[in-house]
């Protein structure tokens, strides 16, 4: 149950980062879930091959650590993408270019 809550939280974090990059947050949530599950299964299988199935708690811990590594991998892919470029120069009007006027006192 805690693992699911952690995955939901991490998906939200990657979605926020995707929005800042100008990308689809839903797609990156699915990438996060896919990276999490793939790395968890790979870590668990690798642990079973290396250490056997005698220590199930150790295998679960190795799978969880690997799953977090999958999240970090997807996050690093997302961070490498460029940020959105907002061309503010086209939004400036003529009146914005003049210095502010002082108001006269009568």
* Domain presence at residue 54: yes
Q: Does 93 have pLDDT greater than 90? A: no
pLDDT in tens, 16-50: 999 988 899 999 999 999 999 999 999 999 999 99
- d(Cα 85, Cα 15) in Å, to the nearest integer? 18
Token pair 């790395």 is found at: 39
* Domain presence at residue 90: no
C-beta separation of 40 from 64 below 8 A: yes
Q: Does 51 have pLDDT greater than 70? A: yes
Number of domains in the chain: 1
pLDDT for the residue numbered 90: 64
Cβ count near 74 (within 10 Å): 23
**pTM for this predicted structure:** 0.74
3-state secondary structure of 81: coil
Give me the domain span that covers residue 32.
Answer: 2-80
């Amino acid at each position: 149950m805690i693992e699911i809550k952690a995955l939901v939280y991490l998906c939200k974090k990657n979605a926020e980062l995707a929005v800042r990059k100008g990308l689809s947050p839903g797609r990156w949530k699915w990438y996060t879930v896919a990276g999490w599950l793939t790395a968890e299964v790979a870590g668990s299988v690798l642990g079973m091959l290396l250490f056997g199935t005698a220590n199930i708690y150790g295998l679960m811990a190795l799978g969880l650590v690997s799953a977090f590594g999958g999240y970090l991998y997807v996050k690093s892919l997302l961070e490498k993408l460029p940020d959105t470029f907002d061309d503010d120069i086209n939004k400036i009007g003529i009146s914005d270019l003049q210095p502010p006027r002082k108001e006269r006192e009568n």
